Structure 1
């Protein structure tokens, strides 16, 4: 009978860290040997260069062994970030990548990894913006922190917590996390104000339902509120006001959320088709309005700064 609790198989280095022509071995804390070249390590890292200048014991084997304090998995991840001929694993967890970056940049004195690491992390911003924000704060990368904070606007704050994210956030200080929360809240207030008050919007023939003159009882005007537009107050149709209200709630939760949300567009489209006047080119007008709204919001959000001090 198989043992469901059997230990995981030992880590086995693959190319290029199994090179029989290597002239030094890095031995991980769990006893795994990485066959590497001292010239490559010396050029990349002043730490290793200094290590190789130290006198070696007379009993040193033909291939010297250098014990390091990192595990095989961490050492493999860190080496694959930069070692010639190494193929970085695309599915490595962000937590592991972050720890490897921190070790190799700081402990092994390899600041050149910064630009390479940013290139590797940026494609994962949409996937894990809060985790990458924490990584950027830990490594003091202001540009990536800003990009991650902007990407996090597509999430509600309640999604800022998970096992992986919490492990990253625990490595940064409270001020850094509070800066992210404050930025999200500011952007939510700014974005949602664009649908609560249409002073920025110029009414035109494309305004959804604004020029409906039908007497259809299913298409009432907004009885309790008038929306101020750039060329004067215009009474809007109830179905469109309801659509704006749902957009306001959406933008307050997710300031960077997609305004072409299919569910909201479909609901507005159905509302407009209760009236033959509003329904004519109704969806097209809603989509055009959403595009104008998105451009206006993005312009306003660009003025909001992430308050980080490093």
Structure 2
């Protein structure tokens, strides 16, 4: 067991809490003092990790300990755990991360998949984004972000567009789905 005396940079609240019970150590040397409970509730990966039998301090000389807490190294740099952990903590403790471009969104989703953070992967924003694409032409000119999606994701989006178009075309001659009050107020018959 090694009890490190050197102090790497800490993150800002809430990932520097004095009552945290585990540390995530990023690849660029940043320590995230976190609560197992929050990770266990949002990530199947961490739930299983924390439920594994823990070796005693005497039998495990390889386990790193800092500030009396076990350290879990992660391969991501500090920007990624910061974004993911914000999504794991209650909204009263951490604000949702601000993701500036599509590459960041994809990186967060891929890392969420790696650590089984299902709540992030099933975000309502994905459905909302698909709906917003209906406002754009089906086939766009070349744009840089096209490199960031897979052919399967592109096919899914094209299929979604086609199904929406087919549904609208089927309703074109049938206005029975419009409430009568709206028909009368706008001079629609049928």
User: Would the TM-score normalized by the shorter structure come out above 0.5?
Assistant: yes
- 2:86 paired residue among 80, 92, 114: 80
Deviation digits for residues 129-185 of structure 1 (CA, Å, limit 9, x no counterpart): 4xxxxxxxxxxxxxxxxxx1x432321245364223x1332x342xx5245446657
- What SS does structure 1 have at the residue aligned with 2:75? coil
Deviations 1:18-70 (A, max 9, x none): 22332211011222211101233234334223433332534743122110112
Q: Secondary structure at the match of 1:98?
A: helix
Match of 2:143 in 1: 162
In the alignment, which of 112, 116, 123 is matched to residue 109 of structure 1? Answer: 116
Describe the shift of the 1:74–1:161 C-alpha distance in structure 2 as closer, same or farther (beyond 3 A).
farther
Cα distance in 1 between the residues matched to 2:135 and 2:32: 42
Change (3 A) 1:81 1:97: farther
Residue aligning to 2:101: 93
Residues 25 and 172 (structure 1), Cα distance of their counterparts in 2 relative to 1, 3 Å cut: farther
Larger-Rg structure: 1
Contact 1:95 1:167 in 2 (8 A): no
Cα pair 1:74 1:100 within 8 Å, conserved: yes
Offset from partner CA, 1:58-102 (integer Å, 9 cap, x none): 474312211011221111111111213111124443432333233
SS of the equivalent of 1:81 reads: helix
- Structure 2 CA distance for partners of 1:36 and 1:160, relative to 1, 3 Å: farther
Instruction: Give the TM-score normalised by the residue count of structure 1.
Output: 0.41
Distance of aligned partners of 1:108 and 1:182 in 2 relative to their CA distance in 1, 3 Å threshold: closer
Residue of structure 1 equivalent to 2:182: none
Distance 2:36 2:159 in 1: 48
Identify the residue that residue 154 of structure 2 maps to in structure 1. Answer: 177
Secondary structure of the equivalent of 1:66?
Answer: strand
TM-score (norm 2): 0.61
Measured at CA, do residues 159 and 29 of structure 1 come closer, stay the same or move farther in structure 2, by a change above 3 Å? same
- The count of corresponding residues between Structure 1 and Structure 2 is 156
Give yes or no for contact 1:24–1:37 (8 Å, CA) kept in 2.
yes
Q: Which structure 2 segments of 5+ residues have no match?
A: 1-8, 174-185
Structure having greater relative contact order (Cα 8 Å, sep ≥ 6): 2
Structure with the largest fraction of helix = 1
Please list every run of 5 or more consecutive structure 1 residues that lacks an aligned counterpart in the other structure: 1-10, 130-147, 195-199, 201-287, 293-310
Q: Find 1:39's aligned residue among 31, 37, 43.
A: 37
Retained in 2: the 8 A contact 1:23–1:35? yes
- The CA deviation string for residues 245-286 of structure 1, in whole angstroms up to 9 with x for no partner, is xxxxxxxxxxxxxxxxxxxxxxxxxxxxxxxxxxxxxxxxxx
